[in-house]
Amino acid sequence: MFLFALGGTLGLCLTEALSRPDYHSFVNIDNAFRCLAGAELFFFVFLWPQFAFGRAASRLWLEVVLLWGLSVPLVLTAASVADAGWGSLARSQALLACAVLVVIAFARLGVERARWYYLGATLLCGALPLMWYLVYDVLDVKLSWLAYASPFWAMDLAAVPGGAWPLPTMIGLAGLSAALWAAK
């Protein structure tokens, strides 16, 4: 499923299937790596935990290594096509590793805590950027940290060529995974 999602994302970007002559879609060759990095993050944050909760941590590590190993050709292809560079590749994969640490740490706590994981992931990934937008649009106050607390916004920042390291998000995710790891 993971490889089909990444392959489909890359295929949409390379064929520019969502673009028309009068409309240039975001899903195109220039943004292939950003789209692929976002698809990877979406899979590991929202889809993979459905299968991960209740399993042993050693098996989860094996699954992550296997999935990452199998996705390397697609990731390298997308980075090459989009001229993303090695810096973008390193930043995005490091952020993805921090997100995977949180999932594995939460999965160790057991299936009964899965609902809290999804509530927290939804608030972090969607509600905080929405709150940032509403505060900015209505009150004209820039609270950028609200948006960049989301791993998806941080991934978009990390995956662009010449982007910055999303250190606050990475440190927050790593700290959360350490706290969850110590909780059991």
Stated pTM of the model: 0.85
Summarised one tens digit per residue, pLDDT across range 70-116 is: 999 999 998 888 888 899 999 999 999 999 988 988 888 877 888 88
Judge whether 89 and 79 are in contact, CB under 8 Å: yes
Is residue 184 very low, low, confident or very high in pLDDT (cuts 50, 70, 90)?
low
User: How far out from the chain centre does Cα 69 lie?
Assistant: 17
Q: Which DSSP state fits 103?
A: H
Q: Is residue 118 within 8 Å of 126, Cβ to Cβ?
A: no
The range of the structural domain enclosing residue 141 comes to 2-183
Which residue is it, tokens 């110590």? 182
How far apart (Å, rounded) are the C-alpha atoms in residues 119 and 126? 10
The number of domains in the chain is 1
pLDDT of residue 41: 93
Alpha-carbon distance of 92 to 160, in angstroms, equals: 9
pLDDT at residue 141, as a whole number: 87
SS3 20: strand
> Using CA atoms, how far apart are residues 60 and 62, in angstroms rounded to an integer?
5
**What is the average pLDDT value for the chain, to the nearest integer?**
85
